[in-house]
Amino acid sequence: MRLIIREDPKAVAYYTANYVRQRINEFKPTRKRPFVLGLPTGSTPVEVYWHLVDFFKRGEVSFRNVITFSMDEYVGLPRSHPESYCSFMYRHLYDHIDLRPENIHMLDGNADDLAAECQRYEDKIKEVGGIELFLGGIGPDGHIAFNEPGSSLESVTRVKTLAYETVLANARFFGGDVNKVPKLALTVGVGTVRAAREVLLIITGAHKAVALAKCIEEGVNHMWTVSVIQLHPSAMVVCDEDATLELHVKTVRYFKSIEQVQEQLIGRQNISLKGSISRLSGYDPGQTYRVAVQQSTGDVASELDTGEESDDDNVYDDDEYPEEEEEEEEEGDVQKMAVSSSADMLASSPSEINGASLNGSLAPAATAGNPF
């Protein structure tokens, strides 16, 4: 699993949207071989969609051969209700891009037979060859889609009773009135998400810090359904600094160092989009590389000499933590490894970064007013 940490929600949204753009473009979808994308609702993905619309308008991505599946929908709320997830998806994304209407799939929370509707959805996903990339958000209780605590980790699309905490959290979309929030929803299951070939979760905010810690540092547990991504062969969490507040410092440093070493020492050109090391062209184990360091006084950069003797210590396997001594050695310089260097490891040139500054935040150009 990869954990990508960016400074704030804006940088997280840009990273995520850029990743989706690159995955679609790399996939080169055609009508016969479409890219199947699972999509979430909620406040977290709104800015991701804003960027995707922006990329589309600039001709940098097309959704013509993309098929989408939304994660969930309230039961009993008219589709035309402004807070239905159907309205949400059209308002924030579908009305602004070139998706073919027949490629848009959503659950019908007003179907006469809800169980049959859920089965239809699962069948449709299978019919198009499964989901290539599932984007997801999580709730503060660790739910993924509407898979509330206690959901079976094998669950598929079904009717779900919302946890009181979720109803409370969503009351903000219904004028703060919990009585107006539907208490039932249709949702893809934990198993449906797991079946996707890749899962990307977006987690921002201190209120989700406990859930992120449960997801990353503790075991797979149905009370924190998001933790199931530990079992997924191709999963990535993109989070902001606030969401890391409950993680161990060591965990945060570990994941940052992985990204940084990969980019700077192994070389961006050798890293596949999904993060694996595909080749080692130009790799020099003895090279000196720069580590951007963020201190309370501002950003500075220091040079670490990665001599032959310490090579092994600088390239960790995904499931290894850095040696204690190494952390001590870097102490003082590496107060906090910056998001940094890595404003965007996916962009292949500074011009592609599109307004993202080197500390991962977005420059004004990229944060200008929402176009719709």
Catalytic residues: 72, 141, 143, 148
SS3 label, residue 33? coil
Which residue in this structure is represented by tokens 């004028």? 175
Order of all β-strands in the sheet with 133-137? 2-6, 235-240, 199-203, 133-137, 35-39, 66-70, 104-105
Among the listed residues 97, 4, 11, the one whose alpha carbon sits nearest the alpha carbon of residue 54: 97
**Minimum CB separation from ligand PGA for residue 283, in Å?**
39
**Minimum CB separation from ligand PGA for residue 162, in Å?**
10
Our CB check for ligand PGA shows the closer of 138 and 343 to be 138
Beta bridge partners of 160: 185
* Closest-approach residue to ligand PGA (CB): 42
**Distance between CA 254 and CA 319 in Å, rounded?**
10
What are 319's two structure tokens?
């499931």
Our CB check for ligand PGA shows the closer of 33 and 172 to be 172
The CA–CA distances, whole Å, from 16 to 70, 108, 159, 200, 219 equal 17, 27, 29, 8, 26
Residues that bind ligand PGA (CB under 6 A): 42-44, 137-139
**Minimum CB separation from ligand PGA for residue 312, in Å?**
40
**Minimum CB separation from ligand PGA for residue 153, in Å?**
17
Our CB check for ligand PGA shows the closer of 75 and 261 to be 75
**Distance between CA 341 and CA 17 in Å, rounded?**
19
Our CB check for ligand PGA shows the closer of 38 and 137 to be 137
Among the listed residues 88, 83, 85, 89, the one whose alpha carbon sits nearest the alpha carbon of residue 73: 85
**Minimum CB separation from ligand PGA for residue 350, in Å?**
30
Our CB check for ligand PGA shows the closer of 16 and 44 to be 44
**Distance between CA 133 and CA 37 in Å, rounded?**
5
